[in-house]
Chains A and B, each alone.
Chain A
Amino acid sequence: MTSTPDPFTALGLPVRPDLTDERVRTAWRQVATATHPDRPDGGDPARYAAASAAYAILRTAWGRSEACADLATAPPLTGRIVPAAGVPATPPGLARWRAAAVIPARIWHGRPVRLAVRIAAAVVLAVLAMHTSAGTPATAGLVTGVGVWLALTVRADLAPPPGR
């Protein structure tokens, strides 16, 4: 399917299957205009050829889908498949780290303003509780209650994790 190693790089595009036709076309036009052999300076025939081949692949949504999959996948499976039943592909610790690493992006793509208001409200309530009855067990209880409320509701303002 792929005649170039990475058609997305050849057109200066991110490796995403959901690029629009217009975006691919614009990228191709930019590269082609800068590298065409008919340019007075002779252009860059090798890069032009690579970009042409890449555009032929990426011009349709299915082609982009295929190219993306080709980049992400190992060679096609042939033969008998031994299922890895019961063996987690990703260690749980690593999965947790990955989940924590995407939290900033989840905040940014979610509802950051609402989230800020929610956190601010929780902080105000906690400060008020500490101010009114500082040092008492009731204060600790109230702060815990506010924390539980925040933990239960904060997820609503985050974008869903990748793949879900």
Chain B
Amino acid sequence: MWWYLRARLLLWLLRVTGRAIRWAVLVAVLIAAAPVTIVAAVGFAGAWLRGWPPARLRRSAVWALPMTGVYLAGRALQVHTWQALALAPVYDWRHAWHQVAAGRVVTAFALTAPVAVPAGLFVAAGLWAWRLYAVENGLAGKTATAPVVFDARQWRRASRAARGRVTAPGTFPLADRRGRVVMGATVRTVGHRWRPVTAVPYAAMSRHQVIIGSSGCGKTNLMMRSWAGWYAAALADHHQHGAPRPLLIVLDCKGGPDARTKANRTRTLLHGAGARRVAIWPDEATVSVWNLPPADLAVTLFQLIETGTGDAAYYADLTQAVLTLAVTAPPGPPADGAAFLDRLEPGWLEAAYAGDRSRLGAVAAARRSLGDVSLRYRTLLSRLGPGLDGPGMLADADAWYFILEGTREQSVAEAQAMAITELVAHAATSRAAEPRAILLACDDYSAVSGRVPLWQLYERGRSLGVGVQVSAQSWQGLGRDDDERRRICATADGGIWLMRTPYPQPISELAGTRRVIETATKVLGGVWGDEGSSRIQHAWTADPGIARRLATGQAGYIHGGGCTWVQIARPRPSPLPLPPPPPEPVVIPAVQEPARPTAGVPAGPPPDLNDVFGPETRQ
């Protein structure tokens, strides 16, 4: 019995002694490598407090390597053998301990810093990566909720750090030197490479993108930054590599007083990005739908009105025939709405097709319905207003901001949106006009998607080489049914911007999952035991829980099987004046184009004397 007790006691003492020796060796190593220990501890604490990922520490360590290089180069001048050079840090380390003994701690640290700083940061990165791994996989933490609490705390800290960084003006220009659109400060990455600044390649902005975020989540800032950044990057590409000039077209599909404020802000931003002509439609500028090629114009005019199906097909065919006769008449297409309505008269059509027996026969057959068709189009054109009646072309400006009153007058706004998308298609495909890089941005497009469904707009944009960016306030706002919504999101090869929204699951499903280790630990008698099991599980790439809780201005950029959570920087134009534009490309005057009216600029009333001296004058 005594023998057994003595043996147990001896074993216990051996175990305790072994542990004590291990700790003593560890403490001795930490003290011996004090400079590295201090840097590693500071780096680890900084990462913990600021919510940094290990990549942030590794980047710092890499950027600290030049000091090591210079130090070694200096040492190489003093010693002449490789062995001596390799041992130089050891000699300096030994010398540093003498300095510490003499009370010169700062000098001691300065002697060892060129090696200790990068080494310490690399060690901190490794330790921090291990800590994150251990907590995420249930290998660390005192309670079952430790991984959840740890993750939430690190998210808060990373968000706070990102919010602080986006106020730096120089870190977040609209576009960077490599032609990428700078969006904001990175909070967290999943499946993407971590970089402190999230920037989207200009080419991705030129493809299709979807933005989903509820009201008040900072969607407007994100969109404006992407527009201005795209414009700045595309213009730089034009100046440097002769790429097509950019043309930005924004459809604000909800309208209202807010739209005017947004339009003016967008204009200021675009001026700062290098745009010279920024037109706001219909308040300040007009475009002419009558500039479309006659055949396209006839089709567009036909699609602008409801025609119905079934028995109504007869009237639809009749209307289309009349429109084709009126628009493709020998005198050329009508110059404006009034000229078009004049053509819906039997007399005009008979005179235009005099001598063409087959067409005259068509006119005679349609004579009875011409009055009805004319009445419908007179009503339509009066509802559409003068904004589409010209003068003006999309090519006249560098950017257009179209305000469609989709909330107030949905049917009118739908027709306007349809006509504008036709004009965009014409601008993208016209061979006579200068080729342009076009981005069509539709804010809350669902408000006007009755005539041209979003998926159709996307597919047309893809075939025409036009980048299409669409925003919606929710998943449901993207389309009529789930099939349509999924089709839109699945074809968004420029990425999806997910902001705060109460129903992010479908987007998270599209973003996919990643494999993680889930560890279960047994609870024995109310405390954690040391038994358990681990298994591979799937976790969201774009966590819907995070998407629901996003703060204002935060967004997730889902692209290429990964997600980058980012704090969007408020877009501000550079306060510096723009340099003079470089000379335009060479133009060979080959074909004399028919004279077109200039952009539809409202002349405005001439200034009168009352404006200066009259009683209404405000000082």
B170 pairs with A55, CB closer than 8 A: no
Given contacts A74-B584, A77-B584, contact A69 B277 (CB under 8 A): yes
Judged by a CB distance under 8 angstroms, whether A4 is at the interface is no
Given contacts A79-B591, A160-B173, contact A144 B606 (CB under 8 A): no
Judged by a CB distance under 8 angstroms, whether A84 is at the interface is yes
Q: Which residues of A contact B586 (CB under 8 A)?
A: 81-82, 84
Q: Which residues of B contact A132 (CB under 8 A)?
A: 104, 106-107, 110
A156 CA / B264 CA spacing, docked (Å): 27
> Which of A61, A69, A86, A160 interacts with B264 by CB under 8 Å?
A61
Within 8 A of B (CB), among A62-76: 62-63, 65-66, 68-69, 72-74
Judged by a CB distance under 8 angstroms, whether A40 is at the interface is no
A128 pairs with B106, CB closer than 8 A: yes
A52 CA / B604 CA spacing, docked (Å): 12
Q: Which residues of B contact A1 (CB under 8 A)?
A: 598-599, 601
Contact with B along A66-109 (1 / 0, CB 8 A): 10110011100111111111111110000000100010011001
Q: Which residues of A contact B582 (CB under 8 A)?
A: 89-90
A86 pairs with B242, CB closer than 8 A: yes
A158 CA / B171 CA spacing, docked (Å): 8
Contact with A along B267-281 (1 / 0, CB 8 A): 110011110111110
B117 pairs with A78, CB closer than 8 A: no
Judged by a CB distance under 8 angstroms, whether A47 is at the interface is no
B613 pairs with A156, CB closer than 8 A: no
A72 pairs with B581, CB closer than 8 A: yes
A2 CA / B411 CA spacing, docked (Å): 38
A66 pairs with B581, CB closer than 8 A: no
A80 pairs with B590, CB closer than 8 A: yes
Q: Classify chain A: how many residues form its interface, as a range.
A: 35 or more
A79 CA / B612 CA spacing, docked (Å): 45
Interface centre among B280, B434, B603, B617 (most CB of A within 10 A): B434
Given contacts A61-B267, A69-B276, contact A78 B593 (CB under 8 A): yes
B604 pairs with A141, CB closer than 8 A: no
A60 pairs with B604, CB closer than 8 A: yes
Interface centre among B232, B398, B575, B589 (most CB of A within 10 A): B575
Contact with A along B563-605 (1 / 0, CB 8 A): 0000000001011111111111111111111000011011110
> Which of B111, B274, B434, B585 interacts with A138 by CB under 8 Å?
B111
Judged by a CB distance under 8 angstroms, whether A33 is at the interface is yes
CB distance from B170 to the nearest CB of A (A): 4
A78 pairs with B587, CB closer than 8 A: yes
A148 CA / B169 CA spacing, docked (Å): 20
Given contacts A82-B586, A89-B582, contact A160 B574 (CB under 8 A): yes
Judged by a CB distance under 8 angstroms, whether B101 is at the interface is no
A152 CA / B170 CA spacing, docked (Å): 11
Q: Which residues of B contact A158 (CB under 8 A)?
A: 169-170
A140 CA / B547 CA spacing, docked (Å): 48
> Which of B67, B165, B172, B599 interacts with A66 by CB under 8 Å?
B599
A61 CA / B264 CA spacing, docked (Å): 9
Q: Which residues of B contact A109 (CB under 8 A)?
A: 169, 575-576
> Which of B168, B576, B599, B606 interacts with A157 by CB under 8 Å?
B168
Q: Which residues of A contact B613 (CB under 8 A)?
A: 33, 36, 38
A29 pairs with B587, CB closer than 8 A: no
Q: Which of B17-25, B71-79, B335-343 contacts A (4 or more CB under 8 A)?
A: B71-79
Chain A residues near B (Cβ < 8 Å) = 1, 16-18, 28-29, 32-33, 36, 38, 52, 55-56, 59-63, 65-66, 68-69, 72-74, 77-90, 98, 102, 105-106, 109-111, 128-129, 132-133, 136-142, 144-145, 148-149, 152, 155-164
Q: A62-B279, A111-B169 are in contact. List 4 more A-B contacts (CB 8 A).
A: A142-B110, A145-B67, A164-B175, A164-B236
Chain B residues near A (Cβ < 8 Å) = 63-64, 66-75, 77-78, 88, 92, 104, 106-107, 110-114, 117, 165, 168-176, 232, 235-236, 239-244, 264, 267-268, 271-274, 276-280, 284-285, 398, 434-435, 572, 574-593, 598-599, 601-604, 606-607, 609, 611-613, 617
Q: Can you give 20 A-B contacts (C-beta < 8 A)? A: A18-B268, A18-B272, A32-B607, A36-B609, A72-B276, A82-B587, A106-B576, A132-B107, A132-B110, A139-B110, A140-B71, A140-B74, A142-B67, A148-B67, A155-B170, A157-B169, A159-B169, A163-B235, A164-B175, A164-B574
